[in-house]
Structure 1
Amino acid sequence: MSEESAVLHFSTDGIATITLNRPEVHNAFDEELIERLADMFVDVGHQDGVRAVVVAAAGKSYCA
């Protein structure tokens, strides 16, 4: 996959945003995306200043 299946962004106000980036398949979860999300949640867990995590989706669909 040439683009990232999910993108993690940390803001200065303690909010981490994970954006699902598979709009061509309505952001449906597959094995790769699940693994990527698990890694991102571990990364977020190691950040002292994070108070909240928002999971969003690129495109018009969000599927779990």
Structure 2
Amino acid sequence: MFSLTRLSPSVTDMIRFDHSHVLVTFHQYTTASRAGVKKALAETIQGSPQRIGRADDQAPFATA
């Protein structure tokens, strides 16, 4: 039977990836960088909570 679960990552994996991406981006930020680079890195990091929130909203939760 065909299943989409094998084609797309789980929500947990997407959140882990996003956290890793934020960590890598954070380590690229230096005080010596140009203002445009700093702004782009900051905007990338600031977008993370929205992506995690959307993924979290899509996660199926077990109801008791």
TM-score range normalised by the length of the shorter chain = 0.3 to 0.5
More strand by share: 1
Q: TM-score, structure 2 length as denominator? A: 0.37
Q: TM-score, structure 1 length as denominator? A: 0.37
More helix by share: 2
| Bigger Rg, which one | 2
